[in-house]
Structure 1
Amino acid sequence: MIPNWLLQRAYITPNRMALSFGEEQWTFRQLLEEASEIAQKLRWNGLNEGDRIALLGRSTPNMVFVIHGCLLAGLEIVMLNSRLSSKEISWQLNDCDASVLIVDDEFLDRIKEINTSKLTFSAIESSGKESFTVTEIWEPSRTITIMYTSGTTGFPKGVRQTAGNHTSSALSSVLNLGLADDDIWLCTMPLFHISGFSILARSVIYGMGVRLYEKFDAISIVDEIENGTATRISVVATGLHRILEEFETKGSVAHPSFKTMLAGGGPVPDDYLRRAANYQLPVLQTYGMTETSSQTATLSSEDALQKSGSAGKPLFFNRIKIRDAEQPGDFGEVLIKGPHVTLGYIGHASERDPLEDGWLPTGDIGYIDEDGYLFIVDRRSDLIISGGENIYPAEIENVLISHPHVKEAGVCGQDHPEWGSVPVAFIVGYKNVSVTDLEDYCVQQLARYKIPKAFHLVDELPRNASNKLLRRKLKEWAATGIHKK
């Protein structure tokens, strides 16, 4: 039995701050009032419990109200990535078979050629209302959200995330991170992404306030962390880098009340972790995916220094193992089991079972050390096999990013007539970066076969809407010699 999150939270702590944005803020009672009004308007527009809708919006308070309104109305929400092109959005709409696209008016130009029935935010605001009885108890298997995988390889898949998945993820996280009455989670992650939505879910399950940002703003974020107006934040490696640069420019440190910088979306370079310690930023690496409703493993704060580079141990309800590993330290595909794992996909992938004998194959390569800590090495699809040797791009990227003249680094394999494949590097650097320096630096720290055979200086690296590095695009650059978007 899972209580309707917002109904239960507004009943338990109605006057606690739920959401703030700029100078505005709302309590959980006010959040429920806003969401209830939207839910009644959705009913008036013919949307009933169990209907599947698609949602396209920005990370604004109105988007939060609409999300909770949809949940109160009992709708399945397909969270559309607002950074996708019209063609990509159209493909996902056709695949998910949503009855209606609920859309922020800001995106109307992008979807004008799309045939799906549309309901704009402004139309909802001006529409009539129809009263109905809100379902107070959710079945754990009830689909709450559907999010498409980032599509770094092949076609994206629509992942079902249930009430049980999200609730289990939130409970596992709080058992690891802890919770205080004054906790405020600074949300700069897009709400359409599992990292952003999971913050909203934790908020109503925990009774924790969310400080919402529409866009990532390193200067404002550092101000919040310095001043103690936020106690936790979720970031990806690129965001962490920008935050560190701002701290280094200001020479300040985090407020004593700041507890957690949860870093996901891929391995965090060791250099970032060392730099963060200088500014009293407790960076905890975490590992998860769309199919696991956010976190599966997270490094606890007491282990952050002694297990640098690890994603930690599985959270309380979760299990992790390495395929075919015979002893600690053996590399292999990471397999996951737990109540946070999706029950399946929709659309073109609906017949595909995500599990093998109850375990979710992740496509990630990692190992578990002798103390039970998980280390993610790389994506299986990104592995470079050169002359029979396995090369993991993330290892080379870690070395390159530690160079003082490098901002970002991406490594991929390039076909080679003799070795099969060799590593090549793409570098976003400062003005004084040079290829000769980078080669010399790698020679000091890497085996000869791991040293990139070419270094390309570029203005930016290709990333998807979740800021994940697109190594398949790097491979295209390497093959064609075109190094600009």
Structure 2
Amino acid sequence: METINWLLKQAALNPNRIAVDDGITHYTFKQLIRPVKSRAEKLTSLTVKTRVGLMTTNSMDGYLVALAIMATGKTIVWLNWRLAPEELSRQVDDAGLDLILIDDQLANHYHGRHRCLFSELTKINSPVGQFKKTIDLTDVASIMYTSGTTGQPKGVLQTYGNHLASAISSSLNLGTLPNDRWLCVAPIFHISGFSIIMRGLIYGVGVRLVNHFDAPTVNHILETEPITIISVVPYMLKKMLQDVQEGNRHYSPSFRLILLGGGTIDRLTLTACQQSGLPVVQCYGMTETCSQFVALSTEEAPYRIGSVGKPLFTTQLRLVGNQNEIEIKTPALTPGYLNQPAKFAAKFDDGWYRTGDIGHLDDDGFLYIDGRLDEMIISGGENIFPVEVENVLRRYPEINDVAVIGRSDHQWGTVPVAVVVSNSPVDFRKLEAFGRSHLAHYKVPREYRQVTVLPKNASGKVQKFRLKELFAPSN
């Protein structure tokens, strides 16, 4: 199905509404046309391929270049600047790129072939290039490599139709207001960030860009600017909560919700947010579904602490097998993985997409996430969900963060191991006693390791495969 370019449509419908703001510069939808068109014409002369690599921070230039790539009808291949050069090179080769546009701030993060800095792009004199006035919903708008918590990133194809279906379902759940302004502090090379840009174009609402996460800075913006929504991951929420509690902060009257995704969070933090007046709405989504496909509503959020909600309007969901794996059907689901059709086909169970996550439903149909199927520990025939153990151990006064992994054991098959982060040496005997007072004995870790920091990907998720390589060798 063909439809008008979303930027052109919003420029016609809401020409004077703020489309994007970085705290210094802002553009209305009508004003966006000129800088996007200029960049689109220039980059057209640099590539003959259908895909263009993009490595950027949450900068205004990055936003403009992303829209320019889509305006040419080409596909954005999002590149995570936090990856090692070897990892980036593999993705560049996998996507078959002959042009990689790079934010000047990240010039030192990639020195491979086909790179072009934003400043170099703007200096190019080129004949009139391509600026497509329409888009086809089946066209691939973006390719985003999965975060790699398992160590095996895949290039997820995201069509315009996928983005539209996700945005519509989210809007029906959370509501959309003409004065909405969405604060984008999540990296835009991650779906939690890029989905905000796409929803800004679809809804016709403003996007407030923040270049990097800093809790006091973000909270100050929420206090002083007319922001209505922010998307965060658990790490961000905890830092924001701490800053609110310490500074007795109060957000602007226009602010209405914190959309929380990107991983599980402990009930203690959610309760503290409620007590501090932070309106958290939990959700559950994936790169493969262009963000959330399950979410709480704003009305339900205060009464369903710990749940990620119910399937959104276009989502079907079921729990399968003894372990309750979550399977879904949704028009927001990717049509496949780049160059890996067999791996994508293997994710399906009789037409249902297997998420790899484990969950349970309460009597009213609200979903709770118990953990990842590939992280579940089976010890002496008993199932142990690391998330449950982690949430308990985080309550121990000296613990800043914790991850639980499995280690092979001759007697029990596998036993849990806790890797903890603390500012001071931890008495593991006392920590174990604390665990035994709150958990069944078989769930209590048999071994403890202390580190200064847990390895995490760009979205803040712990990369447990790296911990297993260090602390839980298979032989």
Greater alpha carbon shift after TM alignment, 432-441 vs 352-361: 432-441
User: What is the 5 A alignment of 1:1-400?
Assistant: 1=1, 2-47=3-48, 51-112=50-111, 114-115=112-113, 117-132=114-129, 134-324=131-321, 331-349=323-341, 352-353=344-345, 354-400=347-393
Distance 2:388 2:197 in 1: 34
Deviation >6 Å, runs of 4+: none
> SS of the counterpart of 2:158?
strand
Distance 1:272 1:443 in 2: 22
Q: Do the aligned partners of 1:384 and 1:413 also contact (CA within 8 Å) in 2?
A: yes
Distance 1:356 1:99 in 2: 37
Distance 2:349 2:432 in 1: 43
Distance 1:107 1:431 in 2: 35
Q: Name the residue aligned to 2:450.
A: 457
Q: Do the aligned partners of 1:254 and 1:279 also contact (CA within 8 Å) in 2?
A: no
Q: What's the offset of the Cα at 1:384? A: 0.6
Q: What's the offset of the Cα at 1:44? A: 3.1
Distance 1:439 1:254 in 2: 40
> SS of the counterpart of 1:301?
coil
Distance 2:73 2:274 in 1: 44
Consecutive unaligned residues in structure 2, runs of 5 or more: none
Fraction of identical pairs, as percent? 40
Work out the number of aligned pairs and report it.
Answer: 472
Distance 1:227 1:68 in 2: 28
Q: Quick one: structure 1 residues 89 and 72, their matched pair in 2 at CA, closer, same or farther if it must change by over 3 Å? A: same
Q: Name the residue aligned to 1:483.
A: none
> SS of the counterpart of 1:347?
coil
Q: Name the residue aligned to 2:422.
A: 429
Distance 1:105 1:247 in 2: 34
Q: What's the offset of the Cα at 1:166? A: 0.3
Q: Name the residue aligned to 1:411.
A: 404
Q: What's the offset of the Cα at 1:123? A: 2.0
Q: How big is each residue's C-alpha offset from its partner over 1:115-148, in whole Å with a ceiling of 9 and x where there is no partner?
A: 3x23321221001233356333322211000011
Instruction: Report the residue type matching 1:265 in the other structure.
Output: G
Q: Do the aligned partners of 1:44 and 1:128 also contact (CA within 8 Å) in 2?
A: no
Q: What's the offset of the Cα at 1:22? A: 2.5
Q: What's the offset of the Cα at 1:348? A: 4.3
Q: Quick one: structure 1 residues 154 and 409, their matched pair in 2 at CA, closer, same or farther if it must change by over 3 Å? A: closer
Q: What's the offset of the Cα at 1:225? A: 2.3
Distance 1:280 1:124 in 2: 45
Q: Do the aligned partners of 2:182 and 2:208 also contact (CA within 8 Å) in 1?
A: yes
Q: What's the offset of the Cα at 1:228? A: 4.9
Q: Name the residue aligned to 1:439.
A: 432
How well do the aligned residues superpose, as a CA RMSD in angstroms?
A: 2.0
> SS of the counterpart of 2:27?
strand
Q: How big is each residue's C-alpha offset from its partner over 1:225-255, in whole Å with a ceiling of 9 and x where there is no partner?
A: 2335322111111111111111121123333
Distance 1:268 1:101 in 2: 36
Instruction: Report the residue type matching 2:428 in the other structure.
Output: V
Consecutive unaligned residues in structure 1, runs of 5 or more: 325-329, 481-485
Q: Quick one: structure 1 residues 350 and 213, their matched pair in 2 at CA, closer, same or farther if it must change by over 3 Å? A: farther
Q: Do the aligned partners of 1:146 and 1:158 also contact (CA within 8 Å) in 2?
A: yes
Q: Do the aligned partners of 2:73 and 2:135 also contact (CA within 8 Å) in 1?
A: no
Distance 2:219 2:339 in 1: 41
Q: Do the aligned partners of 1:365 and 1:380 also contact (CA within 8 Å) in 2?
A: yes
Q: Do the aligned partners of 1:377 and 1:395 also contact (CA within 8 Å) in 2?
A: yes
Q: How big is each residue's C-alpha offset from its partner over 1:82-130, in whole Å with a ceiling of 9 and x where there is no partner?
A: 1111100000011111232222234443332x33x23321221001233
